[in-house]
Amino acid sequence: MMKKLWELYVSFFKIGILTFGGGLAMLPMLKREVVDKYKWTTEEEMLDIYAIGQCTPGIIAVNTATYIGFQQAGVLGGIIATLGEVTPSIIIILLIASALKEYMDTPVLLHAFAGIRVVVCALMLDTVVMMARKGIKDKIGVFLFLAAFLLATFSPIPTALVIVLAAVFGVIYARFRSKKGGDRS
């Protein structure tokens, strides 16, 4: 049990220390650790867990770590995985806060942050492509993807509501399709 808890802590510590830019940026590292290395879950289940983490209140990375930790080692596993996820952020924030005031306007720091933003955008785009390949399976999926993207990007509708609406649509469509008896893509 202690080995499993240590693996959870170290895995989510690594994810936490390398996650710049929010929840989507963590997906490649999450896949590497949780799916490929430890095989705690499948890629499809990881995307489902991530989606649930995104829909629930709180930080996506923390929600995901808590869920996977709980799934692997109960309540203590959830706590340990969550601590692993947040420890790097706490350390980094404390270090940056102590030095940032003095160096905030230096060109090197400004360029470093600009570089980090570019890499985060590339990671997020890679993640969106991976999720689209896994999640879009038919014409309805393409329609739902485009509708959700347009609503989330260009409308004042909160993203969480767009996700809930997509889920409701998916359930209704699945029931309709099962009553019709077959795949209509």
Whether the predicted pLDDT of 100 surpasses 80: no
Q: How confident is the model at residue 92 (pLDDT cuts 50, 70, 90)?
A: confident
**Which of residues 82 and 47 earns the better pLDDT score?**
82
3-class DSSP string for 39-69? CCCCHHHHHHHHHHHHHCCCCHHHHHHHHHH
Look at residue 160 and tell me if it is in a domain: no
Which residue did the predictor score with more confidence, 97 or 150? 150
The answer to whether the beta carbons of residues 61 and 45 sit under 8 Å apart is: no
- pLDDT of 101 reads 73
Residue-range definition of the domain harbouring residue 89: 2-104
Model confidence, pTM: 0.59
In a domain, 86, yes or no: yes
Instruction: Show the DSSP H helices in 56-106 as ranges.
Output: 60-103
Residue 99 confidence (pLDDT) above 80: no
Domain count, the chain: 1
The answer to whether residue 27 sits within a structural domain is yes
Give residue-wise pLDDT tens across range 11-24: 999 998 887 666 67
Report if residue 100 sits inside a domain. yes
Annotate 52-83 with b (16+ C-beta within 10 A) or e (fewer).
ebbeeeebbbbbbbbbbbbbbbeeebbbbbbb
Whole-angstrom Cα distance, residue 99 to residue 166? 44
Ranking 27-36, 47-56, 150-159 by mean pLDDT, the lowest is 47-56
Q: Which helix (H) or strand (E) holds 151?
A: helix 139-154
> Among 73, 81, 60, 63, which Cα is nearest to 13's?
81
Predicted local distance difference test score (pLDDT) of residue 22: 66
Provide mean pLDDT across the span 90-109. Answer: 82
Within a domain: 150: no
**Amino acid letter at 79?**
I
Structural domain includes residue 126? no
* pLDDT tens sequence across 111-129: 988 898 898 888 888 888 8
The verdict on residue 52 lying in a domain is yes
With contact defined as beta carbons under 8 Å apart, do 144 and 132 qualify?
A: no
Q: CA of 161: how far to CAs of 56, 79, 119, 155, in Å?
A: 12, 29, 29, 12
